[in-house]
Amino acid sequence: MQVQAGDTVVIQEEEGEDVGRVVALVDADEIRSVILRRATEADQERRRTLDAETEQVTRLFSQLKEEYRLDMRVVGAHWRLDRRKVCFYFASESRLDFRALHKAVSAALNVRVAIKQVGVRDHARIMGGLGPCGRELCCKLFIRELRPIALRMARQQSLFVEPSKISGLCGKLLCCLGFEDQAYRQWLREMPHVGDTVLTERGLGVVTALDGLKRRVNVRYEDASEQIVALEELGCGGCHDNGESVSS
């Protein structure tokens, strides 16, 4: 069976059947699901019907969690296409014992039930929305594994380290900061460090800032003047030697 990006398909995985959309064709060692067929109109109609029923089961779940006095914020629910299982997602500031709630929901719906606590990033992933770039959230659109994002990534990309500028809808650092992290780290390995002494056409100076993308360095001289110098103009490109970088 030949599929391509954009095709709607029915998949089989450990938790049952579901409908998904092919976003890319890649080579992978780990296989988590199998494509059974291209989704038919009947499959898609069933998916729409289940999505419409989600509001009802979510309302039931919310009522029961109030009865059990659980401090949780219901994020959403998802039916499997084969209708054998429904999964509920909630967010909470603390860990909760929801075993009694699980039994009550299972008995009320007479199906397999899963209840999962999610973090703020997963919350945004489930709800979806538009990022600061104006496009659909990457975590909703194509990111499969949410990896840690460090403030270092913003600093090495010479971005303003202002929370409102580098944070997503979830309140955490933007996932896209990690997209070019490996490239920036490679570029910065080819450059001198901040604080290194370098030799330019004007003489010796100290590196005060780096721009890995443009391959430029800011150099401050003894007279307190500064100059932006291309990496190639530093001779050997800033060879590290005992904390100093001197080019000839």
Domain residue ranges in the chain = 8-118, 121-182, 190-234
Question: Are residues 198 and 241 in contact, defined by beta-carbon separation less than 8 angstroms?
Answer: no
Please tell me what DSSP assigns to residue 93: S
Q: Give the pLDDT confidence score for residue 247 in this predicted structure.
A: 39
Helix 41-67 vs helix 99-109: crossing angle, to nearest 10: 130
Q: How far is CA 197 from CA 177, 194, 233, in A?
A: 30, 9, 14
Tell me the C-alpha distance between 142 and 155, whole Å.
Answer: 25
Q: Are 61 and 88 in contact (CB under 8 A)?
A: yes
Check residue 64 and give its pLDDT.
Answer: 92
Per-residue pLDDT, 235: 54
State pLDDT tens for residues 103-146.
999 999 888 999 998 877 877 777 778 888 888 888 888 887 78
Tens-digit pLDDT profile for residues 70-99: 988 888 898 999 888 999 999 887 888 899
Q: What would the two tokens of residue 81 be?
A: 């296409």
HEC per residue, 47-74: HHHHHHHHHHHHHHHHHHHHHCCCCCEE
Concatenating the DSSP letter of every residue in 115-145 gives EEE--HHHHHHHH--B-TTSSB-HHHHT--S
pLDDT above 90: residue 237: no
Cβ contact 243:219 at 8 Å: no
pLDDT at position 61 is 93
Region 223-246: what's the mean pLDDT? 64
CATH top-level class for 190-234? mainly beta
Per-residue pLDDT for 240 more than 70? no
Compute the distance between CA of residue 75 and CA of residue 23 in angstroms, rounded to an integer.
25
CATH topology of domain 8-118: GMP Synthetase; Chain A, domain 3 (3.30.300)
